[in-house]
Structures are given as C-alpha cells and as structure tokens.
Amino acid sequence: MAMNYFSTRDSALRRTASQAILQGIAPDGGLFVPQEIPSVDLTELIGLDYCALAAKILGLYLTDYSEEFLAAATKKAYGGGRFGDLPAKVVRLEDGLFSMELWHGPTCAFKDYALQLMPLLLTEAKRINGDDSKTAILVATSGDTGKAALEGYRDLDGIEIAVFYPDHGTSEMQRLQMATQEGSNVHVFAVRGNFDDAQTGVKKVFTDAAFAAACAAQNKHLTSANSINWGRLVPQIVYYFAGYFQLVRSGAIKLGDSVQFCVPTGNFGDILAGYYAKRMGLPVSRLLCASNKNRVLADFGASGSYDANRPFYKTASPSMDILVSSNLERLLCHESESCAETAGFMQSLASDKKYTIPAALLERIHKTFGFGYTDEDACFDEIRATWEKDHYLADPHTAVALALARKERGNAAPCVVLSTASPYKFSGAVLAALGGSKQGSDFADLRALESCTGIPAPGVLRALQDKPVRFNEIIAPDEIRSVAERL
Ligand SMILES: *Cc1c(COP(=O)(O)O)cnc(C)c1O
C-alpha cells in the first residue's frame, strides 16, 4: 500500500515519500509525517543482516522507491564494513546496561547513519519526480553535521554542497575533518563570528525571495541537510531494531522482552526514530530523553511548558547545545488531537518562544518518554567513573545519556544507551575527565588519550594530521549569498 505524508500543521497537505524528501519542509512550515505507522513481525526481521533490515524497514515507509533501489542503496551506504564489522554494535557495560556504538562510520559520529543514505534517497527522489534541476545544499554547522553531510553528498551528480562553520568555533579535529574534505562538488568556508552568525547568514539566503527566483531561472534548487527532512530521520529507525536483535541473539533477552533506550538528545531526531520503532512493534518500555546543561527538553518533560527563553550554554557536548528541538513537533502531532493543535503550539513558539501543552497530552507522552539532564560536572564524573568501573571510554554526548540511564533505568528492563560519537572526536574533554592535562593541540590530546587508555583512535581521525588542507577561506556572514550564487 502506498504511504503518504502530511504536514504536522495541516493534514490535508499530502505528499508521496519522494516528494516529502525533495521538499524537506512542508510549504506551511510544518514537518512531513507518515499518515500511518506500519507494524512489523519481529520474527520476519530478526534473521536479516543490517543492509537487508534497513531495506525492509525503509520499504514500509518509502513506498514509491523500488525494492531494488533500496537494496542497492542500503548496501552502498552500510555494506562493505563501512560501519565496522557489525553496524550498531551493542556492547555490555554491566548487568542490564548496554551501549550501542553508532560511531564506526566514515566520520566517527552517528549522523553518518542518516547522511550516508539520505543523499542517495534525494538523488532517486529527483529521478522519480522527473526533476532535472541542480541541487545546491547549504549547511551551517557547529561541527559534526557539516563533515557527515560533506562525506555523504561528495561526488553525487547534480548536487553541489557548501558548508559554513564558525571560524575558531569548532575543535581543531572538526575543522580539519572539513578542511581536508575530498570530492569535486564540495565547498567549505569558515565564517567570521559564532555559529548563530553562520546559521543566520544561511537562513537569510534560504528566505530571500529574489534569490529563490534567480535560482529557479537557472533551474537550481536550494536545500539544507538538517534533521527535519524525513529522509534523514527514517534511516535512524533501523538501528533500534538492529540493537534489539543483538540483545536477543546474545541471550541477554528473549524475543518479545521489553527494553529501554536512553538517547543523548539535541534536535529530538534520534530519539524520535526510537518512538517510530516502538510504534511499529519493537518492545520498548521507555525512551529516556537525556539533555545536557541546555535542559529545555527536561524542563518540558517536567512541566509541559516548552520555553526557549533562557540562556544558551556552550558545553562539552556541543551537538546537543540546542534550544529549539525541531523534531518534537512530529511527536506532538502524533500524540495530540489534531494538526491544528500542533500548529497552535508552533505559532506560539514563533511569537513567544514558548508554548504549553495540556496536561492530558503530557500524560500521554509520559507513557513512553522519560526526561532528564546531566550537567557538565556530572558528565565529566560519568566519563571517569565509566572508565574506572567498566573500562569503557565514553564521549561527552554518550556520557550525558549514560549518567541519566544509571540514575533512571531501574531494574524492570535492560537499558541500551545510544553512543553517538567516538571519544576521540572530543579527546581533550575526555582526557581532562580522566585526570590528564590538555596537551595544547587536538592531536597531542588524541595521542595522550591513546597512551593513557591503550585504546586506539579511529584511523580516519589519526590520519587527518597528514591530509592536505583544501579549504582555508574565511568569509563574512553576508558573503554566504555570493557563495550560494556561484554553486
Ligand atoms: C546530533 C548529535 C546528537 C543529538 O541528536 P539529535 O537527533 O539532534 O537529538 C547527539 N550526539 C551527537 C554526537 C550528535 O552529533
């Protein structure tokens, strides 16, 4: 049966899967959600390898893509050992507590699971819809998304990608990951100012009507690579199933037993994929939403009020430093009475940076979700304690979730923490948490962390030091537009 998508703000606004992926955001500002959530038979899925499992699950949602295409695309994205010997590998820390390592892909961050596949989905969406325009992708990044997007979109026909990061606003490692990027269609710029300046510069280009008209005249189409696109969300559903099946195979649980997942959360995309997995029939008793010091979601879970009027903190887990978690809109849409209600919340968020949901809706959300946060000191304590007790090295994002899982998981069901980045992407912070002193450069920190733990860093990070830098141009925020013009 064909699956269609509607806008979170208007159920009459319908699109096919490939149209939803091409458009990214609905014309009314809403996000595309599936009209119904398919259910699965676990016994039919448990025997599949990761690529076949991904093709099967994606096929239920992306009904206007062919089976052959999905089988080939998932092999290309996840096959050949590109995500380690076993994608989404689950590691036992202690009785009932597990870490699902999502960072063995090409850029050492979990965003690779989405961004290795999404570009293939976009190219195929253009083909299905007879769209022969050139796609120009603009990405403002504080680090991880930019690199994962560059690696995913490099050398694809009909696509140019430009990434903008704040000059001096990323780690040395993150900067070099981007500055040494290979590919014939990639462009990387440092922008004077902070992340907000880069993001505002990019948003200005997206909302410039004259610019859009000029693009249309050249048969060019601007789009972004951020996590509100359905094509970025849907691949993430797969690893919840893959992780669960590993627990069954290892004998930690029996098929049908419940598990909990604890997810380090920023834009609410990763944890929302877990919600879809549960609704499809995966036995998930609870999804724990872990925030860092920017605890807007934890406060929302406690009070039902989402309030973005608050100070913004820069933390050791920068990919979770977010005040507006866009994908929460999708959850509200699925759990609330109507799209009109969701549209109302979002209107109030736009005008007052705040909204409050009714008590009954909050109660429904609490049936599935728990919320909590880990401040900076507790995050560093967790990195040290996990190393000392379990001999396990966690990056700061993972540690935010681990600390919450230890506090909240109880004994009712095993808990799987989603581990979202290699600890070596944040060597300085991890080294400091273990009591080492920072060495003055990211590479020296990496080597010091290797020698103090005996755990080798991923080869791609170690090799960065010797790769030629291709991009070192620094521009002003208002030059982003002229870059976009030239793509
Ligand atoms: C993006 C990111 C997150 C947050 O994921 P969301 O889908 O935005 O909630 C957590 N950890 C790392 C390392 C990330 O890069």
Neighbouring residues of 300: CB distance < 8 A, sequence distance ≥ 6: 306, 307, 328, 371
Atom 11 of ligand 1: nearest residue by CA position: 420
Best probe residue, ligand 1, of 267, 331, 373, 402 (max atoms within 8 Å of C-beta): 267
| Model confidence pLDDT, tens digit, residues 167-203 | 988 888 899 999 999 999 999 999 998 887 888 888 8
Structure tokens at 18: 């490939």
- Section 280-301 average pLDDT: 98
Report the C-alpha gap between 318 and 103 in whole angstroms: 16
* Percent of all residues in the chain with a pLDDT value above 90, rounded to a whole number: 83
* Single-letter code of the amino acid located at 181: Q
Q: How many helices (H) and strands (E) does the chain have?
A: 23, 16
DSSP structure class, residue 240: H
* Comparison of pLDDT for 225 and 256, the residue scoring more: 256
Report the C-alpha gap between 39 and 59 in whole angstroms: 12
Atom 14 of ligand 1: nearest residue by CA position: 319
- Do residues 273 and 34 touch, judged by C-beta distance below 8 A? no
pLDDT for residue 172: 84
Report the C-alpha gap between 36 and 17 in whole angstroms: 13
Give the three-class secondary structure for 149. helix
| Model confidence pLDDT, tens digit, residues 428-477 | 999 999 999 888 889 999 999 999 999 999 999 999 999 999 999 999 99
Exposure of 275 in the CB half-sphere (CA atoms within 13 A)? 24
Query: Quick one: pLDDT band at residue 36, thresholds 50, 70, 90?
Result: very high
Any ligand 1 atom below 6 A from CB of 105 = no
Q: Which H or E run contains 164?
A: strand 159-166
DSSP structure class, residue 217: H
* Percent of all residues in the chain with a pLDDT value above 70, rounded to a whole number: 100
| Model confidence pLDDT, tens digit, residues 368-389 | 999 999 999 999 999 999 999 9
pLDDT for residue 207: 82
Query: Quick one: pLDDT band at residue 228, thresholds 50, 70, 90?
Result: confident
Any ligand 1 atom below 6 A from CB of 114 = no
111 is catalytic: yes
Q: Is the pLDDT score of 29 beyond 90?
A: no
Q: What distance in angstroms lies between residue 266's CA and the mean position of ligand 1's atoms?
A: 5
Phi-psi region of 71 (alpha: psi -120 to 50; beta: other; left: phi over 0): alpha
Report the C-alpha gap between 161 and 221 in whole angstroms: 12
Any ligand 1 atom below 6 A from CB of 141 = no
- Do residues 289 and 372 touch, judged by C-beta distance below 8 A? yes
| Model confidence pLDDT, tens digit, residues 41-73 | 999 999 999 999 999 999 999 999 999 999 999
| Model confidence pLDDT, tens digit, residues 126-145 | 999 999 999 999 999 877 89
- Section 285-305 average pLDDT: 98
Any ligand 1 atom below 6 A from CB of 101 = no
